[in-house]
Amino acid sequence: MKSLAELKAIREKAKDSVIMRHENPNNIRVVVGMATCGIAAGARPVLQAFLEEVQKRGLDNVIVTQTGCIGLCRLEPIVEVYVPGQEKVTYVKMTPDKVGKVVANHIVNGAVVDEYTIGSAQ
């Protein structure tokens, strides 16, 4: 980057990309709880695993984001999946090893991985 004009061009391109992603009502959203409790429980590697799996599969309709406290600290790391037209699914005690199954079964094939959900948490 050698000029202010180049910086402005990069900013506009990034801004357009963000607006496009968030305005598309057909996008699936994966939200990882990244408050202090989530990070301490291992949420950062879970977030990274989702980003890598989505990119590896070329899933252009999936947005992976982070949020603060979801409110269930004892069940961290927590991941919420929002599929348009369906109820939110909350996955608890997530690990990077579980990410592939969630992406393959739930995000790609539409089948919730029940054994990882909040309903199955002890």
Reduced to 3 DSSP states, what percent helix, strand and coil does the chain have, rounded to the nearest 5? Answer: 50, 15, 30
* pLDDT over 90 (residue 17): no
At 1 the pLDDT is 57
At 121 the pLDDT is 64
The predicted model gives 6-24 an average pLDDT of: 65
* pLDDT over 60 (residue 18): no
At 19 the pLDDT is 47
* pLDDT over 90 (residue 6): no
Predicted TM-score (pTM) of this structure: 0.79
At 20 the pLDDT is 45
Token pair recorded at residue 42: 């291992």
* pLDDT over 80 (residue 120): no
- pLDDT, tens digit (0-9, with 9 covering 90-100), for 43-71: 999 999 999 999 999 998 999 999 998 88
The predicted model gives 102-116 an average pLDDT of: 95
Q: Which domains does the chain have, with CATH numbers?
A: 24-120 (3.40.30.10)
Give the ranges where 1-122 is alpha helix by DSSP (H).
Answer: 4-23, 36-41, 43-57, 96-101
